[in-house]
Amino acid sequence: MSRAVFGARVERREDLPLLTGCGTYTDDLKLPGMLHAAVLRSPHARARIRSIDVSAARSLSSVAAVFINSDLGASDKEIPLLQPNPLLLPRMQRLLAKDEIRYAGEAVALVVADDRYAAEDALDLIEVAYDPLPAVSDLLSGLEEGSPLVHSDIPGNLASRFTLGFGDIEAAFSGAELVLKQRFKTHRGGGHSMECRAVLAEYDRRANRITMWSATQAPHLIARLASEILGVEEWQIRVIAPPDVGGGFGPKAMFYAEEGLVPFAARALGRPVKWTEDRREHFLAATQERDQHHEAEIALTRDGKVLGFRDLVTFDTGAYVPWGIVEPWITAATIPGPYKLPTFQVDMRVVYTNKVPVTPVRGAGRPQAVFAMERMMDLAARELNLDPAEIRRRNLIQPHEMPYKMGIVYRDGAAVTYDSGDYPACLQKAQELAGYNTFREKQIRAHKEGRFIGIGIGLYVEGTGLGPYEGAIIKIDSSGKVLLTTGATPQGQGHATTLAQIAADELSLDVNEIAVLTGDTGAIPFGVGTFASRIAVNAGNSVLLAAREVREKAIAIASNLLEAANDDLEMANGSVFVRGAPTKAVSLGALAVTAAGARPGYTLPPGVEPGLQATHYFSPSQAAYASGAHVVTVEVNARTGDVKVLDYAVAHDCGRVINPMIVEGQIQGGVAHGIGNCFYEELIYDNDGQLLNASFMDYLLPTTNEVPTAKIAHIEVVCPLNPLGVKGVGEGGTIPAAAAFAAAVEDALRPFGVTVTEVPLSPEKIRKLLRGVGR
Amino acid sequence: MEKRPIHLAINGRQYSGEVEPRRTLVDFLREDLDLTGTHVGCEHGVCGACTVLLDGVAVRSCLTLAVQANGHDLMTVEGLAGPNGELHPIQAAFHKHHALQCGFCTAGFLMSIFDLLKSRPDIKEEDEIRKALAGNLCRCTGYSGIVAAVREIAAQFRKEPS
């Protein structure tokens, strides 16, 4: 009898090929006759294209084709908007720029040549005459009167403006004993998966079909939009995200110009074409997250009860809005966090700038929201002379108040209703892990030694596991082994392990009897994608329910064959047998053969469809709200502004944990993103909209030196909204990190009375804070 | 561009080829020899995903030209496991400690660590290990599994140096 593996530290089934150099990433694929593409990108952030001369490039013998906008014919289209919204004035990028350039890095031409070297040689020979125009490089100045316009028909560069809130906010503020107001500037950064983007496409002239491989988080989305762009039916396009995609973190969850251009070129030339993004292109053309400005206000009673919170948020969305206003909406709806707020209001302004389009990066607008709320909590604690943990505790939603209706709507249009959680327990556990209660003594001792150490708290609630759905097909073969197919495609999260764990328990099989096939639109008709911490909820429950159906089907067929009642049958170790009479058994393989119709003349039991197979699409009713508390300890060198992370403690609730090893890996990795977010990663643009630090020499990712091993505790509050009881965990590690660090740095520098209002906190910025108070 | 002949040994096998002088070593490995286990992460020598051993020393194959490897001895990730596919202890420790997620940076880490344990077999302290690994970037794991794997394997190497 196999043991239950849900909840066990099952070692990853993905590792072996990756450890031995046998992984299969998109750029590893080669097809006979394959050509290589390179993209000419605009050097200007805003310019009019006067003319393009490609004749010299086309004349090279190694060049198969050069495409500019006018060569695209019916495919000269805007990339379709994913999430239209009446509150949004959407503007979308074309595959290749037509008249006007709107960000430095926008695609202008595509060269296809014998190899990448030849293709890049040809890029140098393309002559583009640009008329440079003044650019919008800063989100606040973009709103000012007289600012240049990113889109001439969008006045004030305002893509969207909306308000979310509840309660009588004016009354709350006018009646409050304490009102605090503070501006914050937050920044996120790029996804920077170690594998950049890559696309390979092949056109089969006889079948009139295109196969495309893409290092994407969302193959079904790519297939649908590519069919629209290329003017073919969906069945004519098959998109495969190879088994190995080298990280995603958000930016790979959207349709890019190259995902239209590469198959376009492959079809036009009748030869396979591959394009692989280099790191510089990833900086210039893969979507990012950047600045948000917050003008936050909090109203409280003298004993630290929050009466109201309001925030005017300005959001840099870049030159186009491929994800609509999803991300600003997430920011707005995440601000309340774990707190009971009687009144709340966010006024959101989404601004076009001449920069790379903004789409979600791990955390997706939440780190910025949490930053605003948690910083205000810390300021209020300071003002009221309360411990930062205590002021939070006084305002936390209690477990018995679940489900808790926040009073606003989420991005799926449903009311924000926290389904479950134990926020006080998370806070308490994280404090314990961090040694919070003994920290003040340590801090005093450190001060005496001239060392500045500080502790900071970040709490968050995250809407995870949003629909619409994900699906799974479970099929048992004549060998008795299982094939699990899902549209949810992994980028390192370990789907082939965790999803197999779920199926293994339901089918009473060993994990290794279950093969997992992901990310192939030819293998499962519908899928959404791996992003937004949604796979455990959506794909996990699909697997559970499909496996359950297969189990029931196997028992129904066995009942016919063994002439026993369903209730007397049991499934284990790859067969179905009569309870108490294990010799009266039929193997899953034999049942699969029977169900497939290999016994002519046999009649399937009533209501049982052919094939020992079931398909289930799980569609959650609303978000599953994960939560957690991070408590961090740092030491700040007041002379240099350098920060050393001394300790990182996490207590979090992602519902039932499928595989603690993998969950801890997600959190630890998320924390590393948070450390980058708080201290290192800033996309710095000049006034002309030029990215000044487009390399890993100037834009720093955290290394082994900067990321300590976090202490992690799982507080498992079962999610009542799905049969597995799970919530998402992919982003929680990142979300409160910047807020917690800002608090810890401020706490360390408490003797100097500085206020941290901005991330990233470079040593330079910390020195500037200290200089501001004469140090 | 005129091509130059090159001859080199990779993982104990002799290879010959003709390359343009500008061709990077990593492109030669991946494109010409189909040794795709070595990855390209940044093409400017920072991320370390393309790390291979040249005469036993870790180098960035994105910053090395193929012609520079002419006459030399290379080792890539494909050469780490034993002849019957048995994992090298570093590979096994990576698996055990969940030191990889997407796996894209893994080959570079493994080769850097191979070099590290050979050149500094006495390395022990976590701080030292962390400093020694800071030339490779990983975006998924937050490094804890990688550091744990190296700590364990370093202890083994100290006991029984290979």
- What letters, b where the CB count within 10 A reaches 16 and e where it falls short, cover A485-520? bbbbbbbbbbbbbbbbbbbbbbbbbebebbebebbb
Residues 6 or more apart whose CB falls under 8 angstroms from that of A582 comprise: none
Q: Show the domain range for B151.
A: 89-158
Chain A residue nearest residue B147, CA to CA: A704
A274–chain B Cβ distance below 8 A for any pair: no
Residues 115-134 (B) with a CB less than 8 A from some CB of A? 129-131, 133-134
φ, ψ for residue A494 (rounded to 5)?
A: 90, 35
Q: Are residues B112 and B154 in the same domain?
A: yes
Average pLDDT of the segment spanning A619-645: 97
Cα-based distances in Å from A57 to A54, A61, A122: 5, 9, 5
Query: Measured between beta carbons, which residues in chain B are less than 8 angstroms from residue A15?
Result: 94-95, 100, 103
When scoring A12, A14, A16, A18 by the number of chain B Cβ atoms within 10 A, the one with the most, hence best to mutate, is A18
- Cβ-nearest to A491 among B102, B135, B147: B102
Q: Can you give the CATH number for the domain in which B38 is found?
A: 3.10.20.30
Q: Which of residues 690-709 of A touch B (CB under 8 A)?
A: 695-697, 701, 703-705, 707, 709
Among A20, A117, A492, the residue with its CB nearest the CB of B81 is A20
The answer to whether B29 contacts chain A (CB < 8 Å) is no
DSSP per-residue string spanning A703-715? -TTT-PPPEEEE-
For residue B26, is it within any domain? Answer: yes
Kind of pairing between the strands at B73-75 and B4-10: parallel
Percentage, residues of chain A above pLDDT 90? 95
Distance of CA A491 to the CA centre of its chain: 11
Q: Which residue of A has its CA nearest to B80?
A: A20
pLDDT tens-digit readout, A169-197: 999 999 999 999 999 999 999 999 999 99
Residue A2 has pLDDT above 60, yes or no: no
For residue A656, give the nearest of A709, A696, A714 by alpha carbon: A714
Interface of A with B in 342-401 (CB under 8 A): none
Structure token pair of residue A411: 């991005």
Which domain CATH number covers B151?
Answer: 1.10.150.120
* Chain A residues touching residue B40 (CB < 8 angstroms): 27, 276, 278
Whether residue B11 lies inside any domain: the answer is yes
The end-to-end CA distance of chain B, in Å, is 44
The percentage of residues in chain B with a pLDDT greater than 90, rounded to a whole number, is 91
Quick check: is B55 in a domain? yes
Residues B73 and B93 occupy one common structural domain: no
Given this model, what pLDDT does residue A448 score? Answer: 95
Main-chain dihedrals φ then ψ at residue A140, nearest 5 degrees? -75, -40
Asked if A695 and B101 come within 8 Å (Cβ–Cβ), the reply is: no
By C-alpha distance, the chain A residue nearest B133 is: A704
The DSSP secondary structure of A597-653, one letter per residue, reads T-STTPPPPTTPPSSSEEEEEE--SS-EEEEEEEEEEEEE-TTT--EEEEEEEEEEE
How close is the nearest chain A Cα to the Cα of B48, in Å? 10
Q: Does a cis peptide bond (omega within 30 degrees of 0) precede residue A148?
A: no
Tell me, yes or no, whether B93 and B151 share the same domain: yes
Predicted confidence at residue A605, as pLDDT, reads 76
Q: B8 and B74 share a domain?
A: yes
For residues B93 and B62, state if they share a domain.
no
The answer for residues whose C-beta is within 8 angstroms of residue B85's C-beta and 6 or more apart is A20
Q: Tell me whether residues A704 and B134 touch, CB distance under 8 A.
A: yes
Contact A685, A137 (CB under 8 A): yes
A594 vs A212: CA distance, rounded Å: 36
For residues A293-313, give the mean pLDDT: 98
- CB interface of B with A, residues 39-58, below 8 Å: 39-44, 46-47, 49
Residue B162 has pLDDT above 70, yes or no: no
Using pLDDT thresholds of 50, 70 and 90, give the confidence band for residue A412. Answer: confident
The answer to whether A322 and A196 are in contact (CB under 8 A) is no
Contacts of B34 in chain A (CB under 8 A): 30
A233 contact partners, CB below 8 Å, separation of at least 6:
A227
SS3 per residue for chain B: CCCEEEEEEECCEEEEEEECCCCEHHHHHHHHCCCCCCCCCCCCCCCCCCEEEECCEEEECCCCEHHHHCCCEEECHHHCCCCCCCCCHHHHHHHHCCCCCCCCCHHHHHHHHHHHHHHCCCCCCHHHHHHHHCCCCCCCCCCHHHHHHHHHHHHHHHHCCC
Does residue B84 lie in a domain region? no
Query: Measured between CB atoms, which of A21, A23, A278 is closest to B43?
Result: A278
From chain A residues 282-341, the ones with a CB under 8 A of any chain B CB are none
Measure the CA angle with vertex A268, ends A265 and A270; round to 5°.
100
**Is A18 in Cβ contact with B46 (below 8 Å)?**
no
Looking at CA atoms only, how far is residue A678 from chain B in angstroms?
15
What integer is the mean pLDDT of A388-411? 95
Confidence of residue B23 (pLDDT cuts 50, 70, 90): very high
> Mean pLDDT score of chain A, rounded to an integer?
96
CA distance, residue A520 to nearest chain B CA (Å): 18
Cα separations in angstroms, A96 against A70, A75, A216, A261, A675: 9, 10, 20, 8, 36
Q: Which residue of chain B is at minimal alpha-carbon distance from A36?
A: B31
Tell me, yes or no, whether B48 and B12 share the same domain: yes
- Out of B45, B79, B113, a domain closes at B79
**3-class secondary-structure state, position A414:** coil
Domain co-membership, B113 together with B73: no
Given B50, B79, B108, which residue is the final one in a domain?
A: B79
* SS3 (DSSP) at A467: coil
pLDDT tier, A604 (very low <50, low <70, confident <90, very high otherwise): confident
Domain co-membership, B11 together with B75: yes
Helix axes B106-119, B89-96, angle to 10 degrees: 130
- Say if B123 falls within a structural domain: yes
| 3-state percent helix, strand, coil for chain A, nearest multiple of 5 | 30, 25, 40
Question: Which residue in the set B20, B139, B143 is minimally distant from A194, CB to CB?
Answer: B139
Give chain A positions within 8 Å (CB) of B87.
Answer: 16, 19-20
Contact B77 A244 (CB under 8 A): no
CA A371 from centroid of its chain's CA atoms: 18
Q: Do B95 and A670 touch (CB under 8 A)?
A: no
Q: Does residue A493 sit at the B interface (CB-CB below 8 Å)?
A: yes
Nearest C-alpha of chain B: how many angstroms from A104? 19
ipTM for the whole predicted complex goes beyond 0.95? yes
Which of B79, B109, B126 is the last residue in one of the domains? B79
Give the residue-averaged pLDDT of A422-446. 98
Inspect the interface and report whether the beta carbons of A28 and B100 lie closer than 8 Å. no
What span, in angstroms and rounded, lies between the C-alpha atoms of B32 and B22?
A: 14
Q: Band of the pLDDT at B161, cuts 50, 70, 90?
A: low
Question: Which tens digits make up the pLDDT trace of B32-89?
Answer: 999 999 999 999 999 999 999 999 999 999 999 999 999 999 999 999 999 899 999 9
Contact A694, A277 (CB under 8 A): no
The string of pLDDT tens digits covering residues A207-256 is: 999 999 999 999 999 999 999 999 999 999 999 999 999 999 999 999 99
In chain B, which residues have their Cβ closer than 8 Å to the Cβ of A12? 95, 98
Residue A244, chain B, CB below 8 Å: the answer is yes
d(CA A770, CA A772): 5
pLDDT score of A691 more than 90: yes
pLDDT of A601 > 90? The answer is: no
Residue B106 lies in a domain: yes
Mean pLDDT for A65-73 is 98
Say which residue the tokens 């779920």 belong to: A502
Q: Using an 8 Å Cβ cutoff, are A634 and A454 in contact?
A: yes
Single out the residue of A364, A452, A356, A409 nearest to residue A683, CA to CA: A356
> Does B67 lie in the same domain as B34?
yes
Q: Which two tokens stand for residue A352?
A: 């076009």
Half-sphere exposure of A14 (CA within 13 A, CB side): 30
Contact status of A672 with chain B (Cβ, < 8 Å): yes
- What 3-state class would DSSP assign to A577? strand
Mutation choice for A interface testing from B140, B146, B147 by most A CBs within 10 A: B140
Give just the sign of the alpha carbon dihedral A663, A669, A673, A678: positive
Nearest CA in chain A to B109: A19
Residue with tokens 């949003």: A466
Q: CA–CA separation, A169 vs B101, rounded Å? A: 46
What are φ and ψ of residue A156, in 5° steps? 65, 10
**Given CB atoms, is B96 within the 8 Å cutoff of chain A?**
yes
The type of residue at B138 is C
The angle formed by the CA atoms of residues A50, A51 and A56, to the nearest 5 degrees, is: 155
**Together in a domain, B56 and B93:** no
| Closest to A155 (Cα-Cα) out of A164, A163, A139, A144 | A144
Report CB contact under 8 Å: B144, A11: no
At B158, list the tokens: 């100290």
List chain A residues with CB under 8 Å of B60. none
Query: Mean pLDDT, to the nearest integer, of A629-641?
Result: 97
Q: What is the DSSP letter of A397?
A: P
Give the distance from residue A212's alpha carbon to the nearest chain B alpha carbon, in angstroms.
20
B46:A27 CB<8 A: no
Label residue A286 by pLDDT band (50, 70, 90): very high
| B68 in the same domain as B30 | yes
Give the integer Cα–Cα distance in Å for A407 and A694.
42
Asked if residue B104 is part of any domain, the answer here is yes
Task: Determine contact, residues B112/B51, Cβ cutoff 8 Å.
Answer: yes
Phi first, then psi, for residue A738 (nearest 5°) are -60, -40
| pLDDT, position A1 | 39
CA terminus-to-terminus distance, chain A: 68
**Residue B95 to residue A16, Cβ atoms within 8 A:** yes
- Mean pLDDT (whole number) for A522-551: 97
Residues whose CB is less than 8 angstroms from the CB of residue B139 and which lie 6 or more positions away in sequence, other chains included: A192, A193, A194, A247, A249, A669, A672, A673, A701, B102, B105
pLDDT at B160 over 80: no
Residue of chain A whose Cα is closest to the Cα of B150: A704
Determine the distance in angstroms separating the CA of B34 from the nearest CA of chain A, rounded to an integer. 8
Residues of chain A numbered 5-64 and touching chain B (CB < 8 Å): 11-12, 14-23, 25, 27-28, 30
Contact B87 A19 (CB under 8 A): yes
Q: What is the C-alpha to C-alpha distance for residues A172 and A300, in angstroms, rounded to an integer? A: 9
The structure tokens listed for A404 are 């808790």
Per DSSP bridges, beta strands A575-578 and A569-572 are antiparallel
- Measured between CA atoms, how close is A757 to chain B, in angstroms? 26
Domain count, chain B: 2
Nearest CA distance, A697 vs chain B (angstrom): 7
Contact residues for A757 (Cβ-Cβ < 8 A; gap 6+): A182, A183, A184, A185, A375
Q: For residues B70 and B32, state if they share a domain.
A: yes
Question: Chain A residue with minimal CA distance to B50?
Answer: A194
Residue A199: per-residue pLDDT:
98
- Distance separating alpha carbons of residues B51 and B111, to the nearest angstrom: 6
- Three-class secondary structure of residue A393 per DSSP: helix
Host H or E run for residue A63: strand A63-68
Residue B134 has φ and ψ, to the nearest 5°, of: -70, -5
Closest Cβ opposite residue A672 in set B43, B131, B142: B142
- Read off the pLDDT of residues A109-147 as tens digits, 9 standing for 90 and up: 999 999 999 999 999 999 999 999 999 999 999 999 999
DSSP-derived 3-state class of residue A729: coil
Q: How far lies A766's CA from each of A1, A521, A745, A753, A771, in Å? A: 59, 49, 9, 12, 9
Cα A639 from Cα A635, distance rounded (Å): 12
Residue B146 in any domain: the answer is yes
Q: Which of B139, B143, B147, B151 to mutate to test the interface with A (most CBs of A within 10 A)?
A: B139
Q: Is A197 helix (H, G, I), strand (E, B) or coil?
A: coil
Burial class (CB in 10 A: 0-12, 13-18, 19+), A37: buried
